Chain A
Amino acid sequence: MAFAENHINTDVPEKDVFALHFLQTLSNLSTQNPFSSPDKKSDRVKKIKKAAYVSMARAAGCTDRLWSRALLQRAAKRNNKIVRFPRRRKRVTWLRRRSNRRDPVEEAAAERLRNLVPGGGEMKTSKLMEETAHYIKCLSMQVKVMQCLVDGLSPK
């Protein structure tokens, strides 16, 4: 039984793609509220955080990944806009959950992972781990971009 490694594709785009998306989203954020700068810092923080995640999801390939789709849909829902992706979304049935429950030791940890990774609820465990790998890569890329941004913007 031979599994080829190349079937798992966890490539993420280059860093500048992430940077571009993030900056776009941030600038969009600022143009959306041109006259009302949010007084509360927490609002701004939340917006920036949301912008970070959304831009990360977009940079990583909007619909190519389950987690990015789920993330974007969640973001869109919070703004009360219904987003429907053309691909059919799967819902985890309790049967699937039962069949997922093969190894109780690992499934407990897998459940926690499902809660962390967006869209993790409806994946099988193998798919979940694939998505996690891609998600980790994208997250680290996004962190790098944000770090550079903070370094660049902080007053010397």
Chain B
Amino acid sequence: MGGESNEGEMGLNHGGDDQNGISRVGMPLYAKVDPFFSSADWDPVVSVGVGGGGFSSSHYPSMAAMDNPGMSCFPHYQTGSGSGYHDMPASLGPFGDCGGGGGGQFLGSDKKEESVGRLIRAGDGHQVSDDVVLGDGSSNRKRRQPVAESQWNKQKAVEEFQEEPQSQKKHKNDQSKEKMMNKESSQSEEAPKENYIHMRARRGQATNSHSLAERVRREKISERMRLLQELVPGCNKITGKAVMLDEIINYVQSLQQQVEFLSMKLATVNPELNVDIDRILAKDLLQPRDRNTPTLGLNPFTGFQGTMQNISTTTNPQYNSLPQTTLESELQSLYQMGFVSNPSTMSSFSPNNGPLKPEL
């Protein structure tokens, strides 16, 4: 889709047009990413009917529009770092297949190697190396660190490359690698400590740097698709990425709809959130927990507050502000406000304990 490249970045709504045919002018793209906090007239059924695509509410609250989740709406052009690599492919001429390459090509192809070795670095912390050697394995030992430093202005890549002098690298051709370089640059920014994946081309497969990186990426994606396939019920027999992805999307949408539906039910069932929640929470505390999660203790109040301090680093009673520091005093005061209830009421709540207990 042509609109894909700029749909998120410019804050335009091309994506919305493409997917749902609803044009919303002036709203950032990710206003429609906001199914959770949409307005009351957002109807999940309608939005599912429309193209089955992402949620598209006709009226998002202005807050969501102004929200700008900030994830991707502002372009952050890495042209500075990207352009640094442009001279790289220019300096390396096109090469034929490495398998047929003679000795005279080794020196030049060394540059490709190390650049490709960087390029194959993926963000997963893998170390991968095939056993199949392309026949030029011994030439991998030639180090090109001076070449690297002169040609790569990315310090991280250089350092990481120097970490593993003895690792086996792939000996590949180097065509234009701009795309991959950009991928690498953005990858290294977000994962400075990741390791390389060192791959070798298998026998009989193309040794084009592009295709190899593509293969790495495709394998990663298919691996995760397998993972997702186990999660989504009823997807065992589905083969094919597109159908699988559609299933996943439908499943996520249905889960979100369920959350919404259940929250509606909760709202009707429980007009006064105050008392019942406290009761349930206190009742929960009475159930023995043998796990090591420091959340609930047998002793309802003192134990609860005591364990609350343990997880105060990760929890914060005021969910509209999320400091990373612990706020133990605030926690305690809040819990004392909310959770001091009569112990006698807990016993009266025991009939409801049945359905809750085995579930929780």
Contact = CB atoms under 8 A, between A and B. Distances in A.
Given A97-B5, A125-B221, A76 B320 contact: yes
A93 B265 CA distance: 41
A15 B293 contact: no
Interface in A101-125: 101-122, 124-125
Contacts of B17: none
Interface residues of B, number: 123
Contact of B33 (A4, A19, A48, A120): A120
Contact of B220 (A3, A71, A74, A122): A3
A105 B241 contact: yes
8 contacts: A4-B126, A37-B271, A48-B263, A77-B70, A78-B37, A115-B30, A126-B124, A139-B259
A74 B37 contact: yes
A23 B217 CA distance: 41
Interface of B: 1, 4-6, 8-9, 15, 19, 29-30, 32-37, 40, 53-55, 63-64, 67, 69-72, 74-79, 82, 123-126, 128, 130, 179-180, 182-183, 186, 189-190, 197, 199-200, 202, 214, 216-221, 223-225, 227-228, 231-232, 241-242, 245-246, 248-249, 251-253, 255-256, 258-260, 262-274, 276-278, 280-281, 284, 289, 291, 293, 295-296, 314-322, 324, 334, 337-339, 351-352, 355-356, 359-360
A121 B271 CA distance: 37
B324 A30 contact: no
Nearest to B8: A121
Chain A interface category by residue count: 35 or more
A49 B227 contact: no
A115 B55 contact: yes
A129 B293 contact: no
A16 B228 contact: no
Contacts of A58: 314-316, 319
Majority secondary structure of chain A interface residues (helix, strand, loop or mixed): helix
Contacts of A93: 9, 75-78, 186
Contacts of A156: 351
B217 to A, nearest CB: 7
A112 B281 CA distance: 38
Contacts of A151: 355-356, 359
A50 interface: yes
Nearest to B125: A7
A37 B272 contact: yes
